[in-house]
Amino acid sequence: MRVRMKVDGVVYEDEVEPRTLLTHHLRDGLGRVGTPIGCDTSNCGSCTLLVDGESVKSCSVLAVQADGTEITTIQGLAEGSTWHPVQKAFQEHHGLQCGYCTPGMILAAVDLLSHNPDPTEDEVRHGLEGNLCRCTGYQNIVKSVLSAASEMRGDGPLPGSFQDAPAESHETAGASS
């Protein structure tokens, strides 16, 4: 079947098998490998992207169902060399470790903040409960999203960025004082 979709600002028109998942079409057909596959069973959320501005687990959608849509992957979220505020906040608040969940987590957060620009911590946790992270314990992810929300409302990022913290000096083990 023929499908046409705009992905990260570029229009693609391709032949796909009716059974092809959107995530496979994006990765294997269009080379958008910034969308990782973590489970293929709609559980982990790592394959989350935006379809017409709404977050979608792309392993749960057929490519033909996305015909005529506009898709944003993590590869198209920044404006040129300027990161989206959510990307910036994840970097500033260390909202990732291995990074596998991060593209999906960031895009789910972008969707969350588009519907709720001033979320509570509980609302962030609830809004991201479809996205699993095996590394971080979620604390810094939530902080990143709250900071991005604050910045996007014009209130500036939340304090406490690990980059702003004063560096501690550590004595070399075994050094005499």
If you ran DSSP here, which 8-state letter would residue 3 be given? Answer: E
Which one, 56 or 149, has the nearer CB to ligand FES?
A: 56
Q: Say whether residue 135 binds ligand FES (CB under 6 A).
A: yes
Q: Say whether residue 33 binds ligand FES (CB under 6 A).
A: no
Minimum separation from the CB atom of position 20 to ligand FES (A): 15
Q: Say whether residue 100 binds ligand FES (CB under 6 A).
A: yes
- Give the binding range for ligand FES (CB under 6 A) out of 3-11, 93-101, 116-124, 159-167: 93-101
Q: Say whether residue 133 binds ligand FES (CB under 6 A).
A: yes
Supply the DSSP string of 127-153, one letter for each residue: HTTTS--SSS-SHHHHHHHHHHHHHHT
Q: What angle do CA 67, 70, 71 make, to 5 degrees?
A: 100
Q: Say whether residue 46 binds ligand FES (CB under 6 A).
A: yes
Q: Say whether residue 96 binds ligand FES (CB under 6 A).
A: yes
Strand ordering across the sheet containing 54-57: 10-15, 2-7, 70-72, 48-51, 54-57
Pairing type for strands 10-15 and 2-7 reads: antiparallel
Choosing from 16, 24, 30, 45, the residue that interacts with ligand FES (CB under 6 A) is 45
In whole angstroms, what is the distance from residue 18 CA to residue 87 CA?
34
Give residues in contact with ligand FES (CB under 6 A).
Answer: 37-40, 42-47, 57, 59, 96-102, 133-136
